[in-house]
Amino acid sequence: MMLVMACIGGKHNIWLVLLAAFVCVSGSWAIFRLFQRAANTTGPEKIGWHFLTATAAGSAIWCTHFIAMLAYDPGAPVAFDAVLTIVSLLVAIGGALVSFVMATSGSSWLTPITGGSLLGVSIAAMHYTGMFAYRVQGIVDWDMTYLVASIVLSVVFSAVSMHLAVNGKFNRRLAAASGVLALAIVSLHFTGMTAFKITPLSTAGAFTDHAALQAMALAIALVGMIVVGTGLVSYLIDDRTRADSYQRLRQMAMNDSLTGLPNRVSFNDRLDREIRAAGNTGKRIALVCIDLDRFKEINDVRGHSSGDEVLRTLALRMSDLLRDGEFVARLGGDEFAAIHHAHSAEALNGFLARIETAMFKPIRIGDFEVTPGASIGVALYPDDADTKEMLINNADLAMYRAKADRTKAVCFYEQGMDETVRARRTLAGELREALDNNELDLHYQVQTAVSTGEVRGYEVLLRWKHPKHGFIPPSEFIPLAEETGLILQLGEWVLRTACAAATSWTPAYKIAVNLSPVQLSHADLPKLIHEILLETQLPASRLELELTESTIIADKVRTLHILRQIKQLGVTIALDDFGTGYSSLETLRSFPFDTIKLDRSFMSEVETSPQAKAIIRAVLALGKSLSIPVLAEGIETQSQLSLLDAEGCDAAQGFYLGRPAPLDQIMISGQISRIEAGIAA
């Protein structure tokens, strides 16, 4: 069509016409690429992209016009007015800028059509301004029919092109909009040139140097394409920057920033895909939930930077142990999850063994080592669940069972776990309510001198009488309190209540209060004890704190530091359950204990087991050599008490001497009752 119209209204250089067409088509494609970016941005960035688009559009339209003008041979000398020529370029750029802004300024379907119509008017204004800059030695006549037709064609095609650019699928609308815009530019120019009639007055000075003419056209085309190319390169650079930013954002959105492992979003996506695949193939997958055992303690004792280092180390270990079909993610905090294609029990057990090894291998941070440990729960799809939510819930239940059972780190889901865990969660909530509603009580068990029967003091024992279930044993609710973190609040209540009660005792006996490992790991424990002693006015020498060696072994250096702070207050320290667990001479040598409490298990066997009797003698001899008094627990018979007396034991405690009881049951006329040795309470 363009070539046909080029033949109307005068001779044209076909090569320059083709060059003009190339500039027009390529420019139109670049214009709508840039326009699409402008339409998808906001704020100052949107204005910037509109300016780039308008500059490229004005340059492409102007270059197309002037190359085509140079292709036209009127048969008479010609020249160009410099001012009007520059004005025509500015008209094209300014009009395009206004039209593009208008086309994206509203949501109505008329908005792009209005903007496109304005673009058509701008193209026509540029063309006819450029024509006024065209100076020819001849008589110029205009065919108004063709002139009006050229403007109408420009407006209609430009409106259609903008409508296509804003609506429809991008790839298709881009090609269609570019083609229609090129048609708008070409139809305007050649229809307008058909309206342009010249009667030469002179042929002298007419263009005869076609090489110079072509060189000028090529220069204009080159400048125009440089301008368009600059805009297009900006688009490509921005597109790449956006792609890189998207990848970075996706990386941040799908991966944990601390460890680099996939995060919860990635985990859910992967689990969905694995479940769909397993449903189609009939294969099994294992979901493994992992919760660190000592992460809170590491954070509290060593600081969050050490906790972060532990997480990074564990993440690296787990990444290194993965094989084909295995996946691990960090869900948040100290929680991890893994997915394994459970082709066989042997393969699954091998995978779990690798995870367990990674979790329990010591981690060196600076000058100390920590062993984070973990509770690991496993549930199988579709054996244990038929939905993702149920699978996650069941793996969690298995993990909580592993956390409650200190004898094993890995636990598989069993159907009965639902009821058990639900009951434990209910009990945990009720324990919190019991503390808030003052439903807990303290019982006291007497500690006497073995040789004289004189009361030395009382051990404070926490008791909980549930309104429905009756007495809940401490062996059940204390571990639950430790798991939920309630033990800190419970321990503070016990210490404050016991110290306040003991203040009014006559005689002023000592009280012994047990410390949980969780309490001992708390950095503010010495400060809390000091505040309670000041608040209750109980002399520090009347308070004894009991802890087991398993509590100490977790972090000997820090525990020793805390115990020394406590002893500086005047409080005494007792080593509880000695003879079991990690008992060692090194512990007795390193820590400032004031009392050794011999575990009750030895007393239960002393009358039948020579080995138990030998251990008791050894412990008593050890205590004497270190000048540390020994208190034997679990005394239930007179013969046990007599044996301890014969061996030189300092103190004893047990049902034979006195059962744990509330304070009001051991008070006699405002005095703490004296329980003579050999008289059962």
Query: Can you spell out the DSSP letters for 616-658?
Result: HHHHHHHHHHHT--EEE----SHHHHHHHHHHT--EE-STTT-
Using the 3D structure, point to which of 182, 205, 239 is the last residue of a domain.
239
pLDDT the model gives residue 450: 92
pLDDT the model gives residue 674: 46
Query: How many CB atoms are located within 10 Å of the residue 151 CB?
Result: 19
Domain that holds residue 388: 264-415
Tell me if 92 is assigned to some domain.
Answer: yes
Contact criterion met (CB below 8 Å) for 591 and 547 = no
Residues 77 and 191 in one domain: yes
- Distance, in Å, from the CA atom of 323 to the CA atom of 210, rounded to the nearest integer, reads 73
Residues 76 and 212 in one domain: yes
Residues 234 and 287 in one domain: no
Residues 400 and 457 in one domain: no
Q: Kindly indicate the confidence band of residue 541, based on its pLDDT and cuts at 50, 70 and 90.
A: very high
Contact criterion met (CB below 8 Å) for 657 and 644 = no
Q: Kindly indicate the confidence band of residue 211, based on its pLDDT and cuts at 50, 70 and 90.
A: low
User: pLDDT tens digits for 68-99?
Assistant: 777 776 666 667 777 887 888 888 888 888 88
Q: What is the mean pLDDT of residues 260-266?
A: 88
pLDDT the model gives residue 184: 86
Tell me if 95 is assigned to some domain.
Answer: yes
Q: Kindly indicate the confidence band of residue 681, based on its pLDDT and cuts at 50, 70 and 90.
A: very low
Give how many domains the chain has, as a whole number.
Answer: 3
Tell me if 421 is assigned to some domain.
Answer: no
Residues 232 and 277 in one domain: no
pLDDT the model gives residue 239: 64
pLDDT the model gives residue 589: 74
Residues 443 and 389 in one domain: no
Residues 511 and 640 in one domain: yes
- Report phi then psi at 421, rounded to 5: -70, -40
Residues 480 and 605 in one domain: yes
Residues 374 and 231 in one domain: no
- List Cβ neighbours of 72 (8 Å cut-off, separation of 6 or more): 9, 10, 11, 12, 193
Q: What is the CATH number of the domain that holds 336?
A: 3.30.70.270
Residues 551 and 655 in one domain: yes
Q: What is the CATH number of the domain that holds 497?
A: 3.20.20.450
Using the 3D structure, point to which of 358, 384, 415 is the last residue of a domain.
415
What percentage of residues in the chain have a pLDDT greater than 70? 82
Cα pseudo-dihedral 50, 53, 58, 63, rounded to 10:
170
Tell me if 429 is assigned to some domain.
Answer: no
Tell me if 630 is assigned to some domain.
Answer: yes
Residues 402 and 445 in one domain: no
Query: Can you spell out the DSSP letters for 485-550?
Result: TTHHHHHHHHHHHHHHHHTT-SS--EEEEE--HHHHT-TTHHHHHHHHHHHHT--GGGEEEEEEHH
pLDDT the model gives residue 299: 76
What is the pTM for the complete model shown? Answer: 0.51
Using the 3D structure, point to which of 381, 415, 449 is the last residue of a domain.
415
User: pLDDT tens digits for 394-422?
Assistant: 998 888 888 877 677 889 988 766 676 67
Tell me if 376 is assigned to some domain.
Answer: yes
The two most distant CA atoms of the chain are separated, in Å, by 145
pLDDT the model gives residue 8: 40
Q: What is the mean pLDDT of residues 615-624?
A: 88
User: pLDDT tens digits for 288-314?
Assistant: 999 998 787 777 667 778 888 999 999
Tell me if 430 is assigned to some domain.
Answer: no
Residues 398 and 449 in one domain: no
Tell me if 679 is assigned to some domain.
Answer: no
Q: Which residue has the higher pLDDT, 668 or 243?
A: 243
pLDDT the model gives residue 3: 36
Q: Comparing 238-247, 458-467, 535-544, 599-608, which segment has the lowest mean pLDDT?
A: 238-247
pLDDT the model gives residue 631: 94
Which of 486, 559, 555, 568 shows the shortest CA–CA distance to 527?
568
Q: Kindly indicate the confidence band of residue 220, based on its pLDDT and cuts at 50, 70 and 90.
A: low
Q: Which residue has the higher pLDDT, 514 or 212?
A: 514
pLDDT the model gives residue 238: 62
**Is pLDDT at 232 greater than 90 in this prediction?**
no
Helix (H, G, I), strand (E, B) or coil at 580: coil
Q: Which residue has the tokens 């301004």?
A: 129
